[in-house]
Amino acid sequence: MRKRSYYNNRNIGLERALQHIEDAKILSNELGGTDKDVKEYFFSLPKNKLKKIFNEYGNKYGQDVKEYAVETFPHWKSGKRKMSGLVAARLYSMLPPSMPLETKYSMVKILWDKYGPRTNKILKVGNGSTAKQIHLEASKYLLKTIKDWEVDENLKKRFIWLSSGDVKIQEKLLNHFKELEKLQIINGLKDKMPVLLKFSNENQEITGSLTETVKVGNHKLEIKFDLSNNGIEFVNPEDEIVKIENNDSSNSSSLIWIIFALIIVFLIFVNN
């Protein structure tokens, strides 16, 4: 009987552990792929705000679970005990309505930096191009990328959670980061383009062609200055690689034919 009881208890313990893991996965998914920043915010709340959260928690889920949460909170905070995914999801759902907008912005930024719009392009700059033209073309391309970009699923979930379903707050959060991205691009390019163009003009005779990489947030522009050509154009890095590979294979073929011709000439000369 004791042996059977031991195995039953062990199975129950295993089931609970697996359920905790599953609840934690569900919570992480609901928060957009991470709950670390939310946890830090919750444990850093002042006593008066924490008291309000616990009161709301008790009113919604019962006074017994509230008392357990209040009693266990110091152990959760110290790491001695782990909060279950279910309890965390319930408590965290109480946070957004009273959360300052600036805090919501900072919580979105973590995921925005990871999942936000990003580009990787080669910008070919030819003869006669001015810093103003380069800045204009680069800005137009990058700003269109932001406009056409569809919000990542992880960000959508974070927007929904932070807004508690309020569409206006969701739009405000999204527009805030799109505007930040636009300003970052415009100002970043504006600062860097004149310096790069000056560098190109001063060194063109020595190098023939210059390549500089500009990074603005999640956007990467490899600027190729080549004054032997005219105009400005965007090229995908993979297209440039294909072009280089084709040139290499073309050069290899030419070399093979030259060697073959030399061998024939040599054999004719020997036979004569």
Q: Tens of pLDDT along the chain (272 residues)?
A: 555 554 454 455 445 555 556 666 777 777 877 788 999 999 999 999 999 999 999 999 999 999 999 999 999 999 999 888 888 989 999 999 989 999 999 998 888 888 888 888 888 888 777 778 888 888 888 888 888 888 888 888 888 899 988 888 988 998 898 888 888 888 877 777 777 667 666 655 544 567 777 777 788 888 887 777 788 888 887 765 444 344 444 455 555 555 545 555 444 554 55
Same domain, 251 and 151: no
Residue 249: inside a domain, yes or no? yes
Provide the residue type at 239 as one letter: D
The CA-to-CA distance between both ends of the chain, in Å, stands at: 105
Whether the pTM exceeds 0.85: the reply is no
Same domain, 78 and 189: no
Same domain, 32 and 142: no
Report pLDDT for 245: 41
Residue 205: inside a domain, yes or no? yes
Residue 164: inside a domain, yes or no? yes
User: Cα 229 vs. chain centroid, distance in angstroms?
Assistant: 35
Report pLDDT for 232: 83
Query: Cβ distance 200 to 125 under 8 Å?
Result: yes
Domain final residue pick, 52, 70, 98: 98
Query: Cβ distance 14 to 20 under 8 Å?
Result: no
User: Cα 11 vs. chain centroid, distance in angstroms?
Assistant: 41
Residue 172: inside a domain, yes or no? yes
Distance (Å, whole) CA 188 – CA 193: 9
- Classify residue 95 by burial, with Cβ atoms within 10 Å: 0-12, 13-18, 19+: buried
Question: Of 199, 179, 176, 177, whose CA–CA distance to 187 is shortest?
Answer: 179
Residue range(s) defining the domain that contains residue 8: 2-98
- Find the radius of gyration of the CA atoms of the chain: 31
Same domain, 132 and 231: yes
Distance (Å, whole) CA 177 – CA 158: 13
Which stretches within the chain are classed as H helix?
A: 2-30, 36-43, 47-61, 63-78, 85-92, 101-115, 131-148, 153-163, 167-207, 237-271
Same domain, 117 and 228: yes
Query: Cβ distance 216 to 188 under 8 Å?
Result: yes
Q: Considering its fold, how many domains does the chain have in total?
A: 3
Domain final residue pick, 56, 73, 98: 98
Query: Cβ distance 16 to 87 under 8 Å?
Result: no
The SS3 call for residue 57 is helix
The number of CA neighbours under 13 Å toward the Cβ of 149 is 24
Residue 105: inside a domain, yes or no? no
Domain final residue pick, 44, 72, 98: 98
Report pLDDT for 222: 84
Compute the residue count for the chain: 272
